[in-house]
Structure 1
Amino acid sequence: MADESRGAQPKHPQQLFFDNVNPATRLLEKRRQMYEVQDALENQKARFAKEEEQFRKKEEQLRAKDLQLQHQLCRFNKFLQDNEAKRRRADTRATEEAAQIRQKDEEIQDLEKQLEDSKNLCAKLEEEKERNMKYEEFLEFVKDTCDDYTEIGEIVARHDTLESANHDLANQQTESETRIEDLRNEFQAYRKEQEMEMMELRNKVAVLATELDSCQKTRQQLENQVNEATQEDSRHSLYFGQILMSVENLFLRCTTKRKNIQHATTPMDDEGAKGREGENGQEEAEDSFRRKKEHAHRQLKVILAYLKDFKDICDALKREQRTVMSKKGQAGLDQAVQLPELAIKFEAEAPRGGNRGSENSGSQ
């Protein structure tokens, strides 16, 4: 077919070369070539259509063969699945039958073992029967010789009763021994517990004795500190009394020897003292100390006022001396201005009655 297609192919027209021809001839030549190319194209299209038809038929044949192969493959796959299912069922059945065979074999072995045990038990019972025949003969002899029992059953019942009583007594003995052992263990545990408690109490007593010694030492130290604080307080009280007496002497000297200046009658800043006088819940000793302190504070303020006046007087005298010296001239400048020094003496004050003595004794 390929040879036929190659033989059917048209030959390309030969191209003629006209170098010296007119345009009409050349146009005719071009048209002739175009017709030839058109015929060749039509022939090529017919050939391609024929080949396409042949290819389509081959494709349909291949598609049909493919479908046939798919159907055969499905049937073969189904066949394989059925065979696999049958094989699995056969394997399962074989496994189950093997298990049943093993179970039956085990049951046969168990039954054979039970049969053997039963035979052995029968033999043992037979031997025990033969051994117990002498006891039966003995019981028959006892029944015939003793008038208390008329049947062998009565003798057996009596034996069972005595055996039951013996068993009960043995159980009671065992229970009593167990109870005695429990009581002994409880006693030992209680004894150990009491010994541990006694040991703990001894340890606590030792610890408390140590704490008591420590507390006694601490109390002795605190008593010593209290005695020292009491002595220190006595020294401070003495020093405070001396200060109060000195302030009182200065106050009396300022107020008695300079009667023309009365700073003691000038109201001082006692608002804080008045506010504190109204407080409640103060002890008597602290209240007395506070009153003495406030009284001394007021006296010190008065003494300060007198000292300020004295300082002002001194400053005024110095200014007057400078004025006088400036009037006298250059000669008077060489003279030194000496101011009289204020001689401060501490005079012992005569006792003024019982109130002053009580204050001094309180300060001491």
Structure 2
Amino acid sequence: MAFSLEDYFRTALEGKLFVKMPEREDEYLTPATRLLEKRREMAEIEHALRAQKEEFQMKMESLQQRREELERKEEELKDSIFKFDKFLRFQEISEMVNRFNTLLATQAKLVKRESDSQETMEQERAQLHQYTEEMQNAILQLNNKLAGLKIKLEKAQSTTLQLEAKWAHILNTAVKKILLLGQIKMATFNIFQILTKQMRQQPDIPLNDPLGQLDQIHDCLIDLSAILTELEKNYPTANHPYKVEPVPAALLSKTDGCPRP
């Protein structure tokens, strides 16, 4: 036959079976998108292979019909030879020989055509078998890749769940710390207000400055500690009666940052 089955299959499958993805685009695809892409490629391959099988089946049926037609014509030729047998007896011997040679040549052509068709059919069958094996190997490789992508997807999902759990823990911890910080600020502000009221003076520290408030409270505690130390020096212990003595002026000068008793 004039057409080449190998060239036909190669042309038909060139744009379907070997789809080349951009070299750097795959780096930005997620595992799920890669899995969907591989599935789409497998579907295209199976569709193309099924179409080629159907087309080859149609060609096989056409060749079978041609073969049957040749056999029918051969039978008709035999019938014609038989019918004209009597007529040929009354013709010249040379004409009969020529007619016979013509029939033999026609028969030889028919036999050769049938042989060529059979040979072409065998070649196409062998090519179909080869392409079928190649497609099966390609599908097997794609199945292996698909299995690998599924494993990667499961790992990615597991990692995502772990990260989400860690993120939730971080958020909970942050909320607790923010709540604790708010409580500390509120307690600091309350203590600072008590001190300012006892001091009976307008504070020079902003209300939204907890660090400054803590410094003021710290200074006051230091002053109170110093007062207690001086009192322990000037007053007797519990085993002796207390002496009523005025607080030294030097001691009172240390309580500038704290309300005096």
* TM class, shorter-length: 0.3 to 0.5
TM-score of the superposed pair, with normalisation by structure 2: 0.45
Higher CA-based Rg = 1
TM-score of the superposed pair, with normalisation by structure 1: 0.34
